[in-house]
A and B are shown apart, each in its own frame.
Chain A
Amino acid sequence: MSSPDSITGHGDISTGVAGGDSNASATRITPGNALRPEDIALEVRTGLSKPTGDVAEYALRLGDDALILAQRLGHWISRAPELEEDVALGNIALDQLGHARSFLSYAAGAWGKSEDDLAYFRREHEFRSAHLFEQPNGDFAVTIARQFLVSYYQYELYRRLTESTDSTLAAIAAKAVKEVDYHRDHSAQWILRLAGGTDESRRRMIHGLRLMWPYVNEIFDDDELVIRLAQSGIAVAPSSVRNDFDQLTGQILAEAQLEVPNVPAAPGGGRRGQHSEHLGYILAEMQVLAREHPGASW
């Protein structure tokens, strides 16, 4: 897997939440000590940290991206090309689910709700995931293409978010960025293997990238909310990570002798609740049992 060296050049993330309020309890997480979604839920419940409506809306975007991706990746468990990949994709799904739970637990605090209220009892148009995260798994190359784009985007975003003036967001990002670094490595290795493996794997890898590339633009779109939050040092404006994303993904693609696909961008709209056709099915499956038993605990 990735060496510690792969982190250098991207700023030191080992100290976690340098820019946050060191007295807020979410930042009392010492490096290597996992920040659990339950800790965030407890802080929110006891009033130790409560996000503003804006911050909650922002956390919802990050949480929904991770949740929908976890739901997608979870499907691979017991279906992967090798047992090692059942484990690896399962790990990535679990990491994403962990990040989702943290972001959603935090967002939920603004409205007196829980992570499960948000995951199971919102309707499709109330979700804020971007279309890239909603795309079907396809074959293994499609999944790797999606993961490659997501991991490099999330890494650059979370790396900067560790310096958020919102200490809870900073703490969540500090934990997430370390995990996403492994996701980057996993997907980059597979890009190289599939591009450089057989004619068929190369053909499929190119196809996978072409299928996913139309949804890249949306994840870098700024809107009023992120511009406002970025100005106060809370959020990372997605547009600000585009250059690094292009450069780093470009390096891997060049090494794999692949070209950046020349395909038209799709308009997106997930942040406004306008989703791909896929999301309705994802939610129908994810929410069915919880909705059969409203008010039940599990």
Chain B
Amino acid sequence: MATQNVQSVPAELSPEELESAAQLVAEAQADFDRVMAEDSRVEPRDWMPEAYRKTLLRQISQHAHSEIIGMQPEANWISRAPSLKRKAILMAKVQDEAGHGLYLYSAAETLGQTRDKMMADLIAGKARYSSIFNYPALTWADMGAIGWLVDGAAICNQVPLCRASYGPYGRAMVRVCKEESFHQRQGFEILLELSNGTPEQKAMAQDAVNRWYAPSLMMFGPPDDDSPNSKQSMAWNIKRFSNDELRSRFVGMMVEQVKVLGLTLPDDQIRFNEDAKKWEHGPLDWNEFQEVLAGRGPCNAQRLERRRQAHDDGAWVREAASAYAAKQKEQAA
């Protein structure tokens, strides 16, 4: 976009100056609207409406927080992974999530927020992250179900985000999606191995799928008629498909894959609606969703406390690193 640096208007302006400033903003808005109409990209130094910036900042930082909090349920099984190969894969996966958090925080920083501030908001309980991570990872099979269902749902959500109108977000998502598809495959593999294993292992796999199925469907957000922000996000080319569209697409994928796994989905109302040409599923407990969102899930307090603890325990290390860097700079000067 051509028009830049017109976001701040000095306080004391003559009527003529005010008018010309207003004209600049109007031109910038027109430029932005053209970018939206052409479905091309907004870059960090371009002018953008404040609401667009805020929406993106909220979405990208929530996404980053989800990666970071999402490390916890899986990190819970690194030390107990039942084979060294699985241990290595799980470690690599959780480490990837830290990497995703890093790219996403960087993308969010281009919108004018520091990582420190975002982290502080997360720890203070002011920022949200995906509710799914407030469920506990109780057995090894949960590593399979999280990979297959949770990462599977994340991929359905995130592939369209690779085309999001905000450049840094779209580009971060390209890399995230590549790694997520590996994550989903490893989850599928874990479940397949368990399903073909001993009766105990198979039962463990089915139990995990039963527990993670509904929460993973709810990852797409509330039904379309109850999702007030979706319309604006779609107009801004951030969101490309509605919550219900994505959910239906996800159910269609899972219903095929679960057959290969030799397991079942805990939903006897899944069917393909020929008229609407989409997959339908049984009712979801949106009350539970709201409860977990409101902080009353099984692990909300535990997840935040763990993040807070790591942050607090590491404070002296971060201070030391800054102090050392400052001394080095001083010496070089």
Please name all residues of chain B whose beta carbon is closer than 8 Å to the beta carbon of A90 when the two chains form the complex. Answer: 91-92, 94-95, 98
B319 touches A298 (CB 8 A): no
* Also in contact, A298 and B94, with CB within 8 A (given A82-B318, A198-B316): no
* Also in contact, A289 and B321, with CB within 8 A (given A83-B98, A90-B98): no
B88 touches A97 (CB 8 A): yes
Is A32 located at the chain interface by the 8 A CB criterion?
no
One digit per residue, 1 when the CB lies within 8 angstroms of any chain A CB and 0 when it does not, for chain B 180-212 equals 000000000010011001101100000000000
How far, in angstroms, from A204 to B99 measured CA to CA in the complex?
28
B84 touches A198 (CB 8 A): no
B94 touches A290 (CB 8 A): no
Q: Which candidate, B2-10, B74-82, B274-282, is the interface stretch facing chain A?
A: B74-82
How far, in angstroms, from A186 to B78 measured CA to CA in the complex?
23
Is B296 located at the chain interface by the 8 A CB criterion?
no
Partner of A82, one of B91, B193, B314: B314
One digit per residue, 1 when the CB lies within 8 angstroms of any chain A CB and 0 when it does not, for chain B 62-88 equals 000000100110010011111111111
CB under 8 Å from chain A, chain B span 73-121: 75, 78-88, 91-92, 94-95, 98-99, 101-102, 105
* Nearest opposing residue in chain B for A203, CB measure: B316
* Also in contact, A194 and B88, with CB within 8 A (given A83-B101, A91-B95, A286-B80): no
Is A98 located at the chain interface by the 8 A CB criterion?
yes
22 A–B contacts from the bound complex (CB under 8 Å): A77-B94, A77-B98, A78-B72, A79-B306, A81-B315, A82-B317, A82-B321, A87-B102, A90-B92, A90-B94, A97-B84, A97-B91, A101-B88, A193-B321, A194-B320, A197-B321, A198-B316, A198-B320, A201-B323, A285-B79, A289-B140, A293-B201
How far, in angstroms, from A97 to B322 measured CA to CA in the complex?
31
One digit per residue, 1 when the CB lies within 8 angstroms of any chain B CB and 0 when it does not, for chain A 77-96 equals 11111111111001101100
A75 touches B79 (CB 8 A): yes
Partner of A94, one of B68, B92, B200, B314: B92
Interface size on A, residues (CB 8 A): 52
Please name all residues of chain A whose beta carbon is closer than 8 Å to the beta carbon of B81 when the two chains form the complex. Answer: 289
How far, in angstroms, from A97 to B91 measured CA to CA in the complex?
10
B91 touches A74 (CB 8 A): yes
Please name all residues of chain B whose beta carbon is closer than 8 Å to the beta carbon of A289 when the two chains form the complex. Answer: 80-82, 140
Is A200 located at the chain interface by the 8 A CB criterion?
yes
How far, in angstroms, from A77 to B94 measured CA to CA in the complex?
7
One digit per residue, 1 when the CB lies within 8 angstroms of any chain B CB and 0 when it does not, for chain A 144-156 equals 0000000000000
Q: Which candidate, A4-12, A115-123, A124-132, A177-185, is the interface stretch facing chain B?
A: A115-123
How far, in angstroms, from A82 to B94 measured CA to CA in the complex?
15
Task: Give the interface of B toward A (CB within 8 A).
Answer: 68, 71-72, 75, 78-88, 91-92, 94-95, 98-99, 101-102, 105, 140, 190, 193-194, 197-198, 200-201, 306, 309-310, 313-324, 327
Task: Give the interface of A toward B (CB within 8 A).
Answer: 37-38, 67, 70-71, 74-75, 77-87, 90-91, 93-94, 97-98, 100-101, 104, 115-116, 119-120, 139-140, 192-194, 196-198, 200-201, 204, 285-286, 288-290, 293, 295-298
Partner of A293, one of B200, B310, B321: B200
Please name all residues of chain A whose beta carbon is closer than 8 Å to the beta carbon of B95 when the two chains form the complex. Answer: 77, 86-87, 90-91, 94
* Nearest opposing residue in chain B for A205, CB measure: B320
How far, in angstroms, from A139 to B95 measured CA to CA in the complex?
20
* Also in contact, A290 and B83, with CB within 8 A (given A83-B68, A87-B98, A196-B324): yes
Q: Report how many A-B pairs have Cβ atoms within 8 Å.
A: 150
A101 touches B84 (CB 8 A): yes
Partner of B84, one of A83, A100, A204, A285: A100
Please name all residues of chain A whose beta carbon is closer than 8 Å to the beta carbon of B322 when the two chains form the complex. Answer: 197
Please name all residues of chain B whose beta carbon is closer than 8 Å to the beta carbon of A293 when the two chains form the complex. Answer: 82, 198, 200-201
Question: Taking each of B84, B88, B190, B193, which has the highest tally of chain A beta carbons within 10 Å of its own beta carbon?
Answer: B84
Please name all residues of chain B whose beta carbon is closer than 8 Å to the beta carbon of A87 when the two chains form the complex. Answer: 95, 98-99, 102
A297 touches B80 (CB 8 A): no
A193 touches B324 (CB 8 A): yes
Partner of A140, one of B86, B94, B197, B314: B314
* Nearest opposing residue in chain A for B321, CB measure: A193
Partner of A86, one of B71, B86, B194, B317: B71
A115 touches B84 (CB 8 A): yes
B316 touches A200 (CB 8 A): yes
Query: In angstroms, how far is the closest chain B Cβ from the Cβ of A222?
Result: 29
Told that A82-B321, A285-B80 touch, could you supply 7 new A-B pairs with CB distance under 8 A?
A: A82-B317, A83-B98, A83-B101, A83-B105, A101-B84, A192-B324, A298-B193
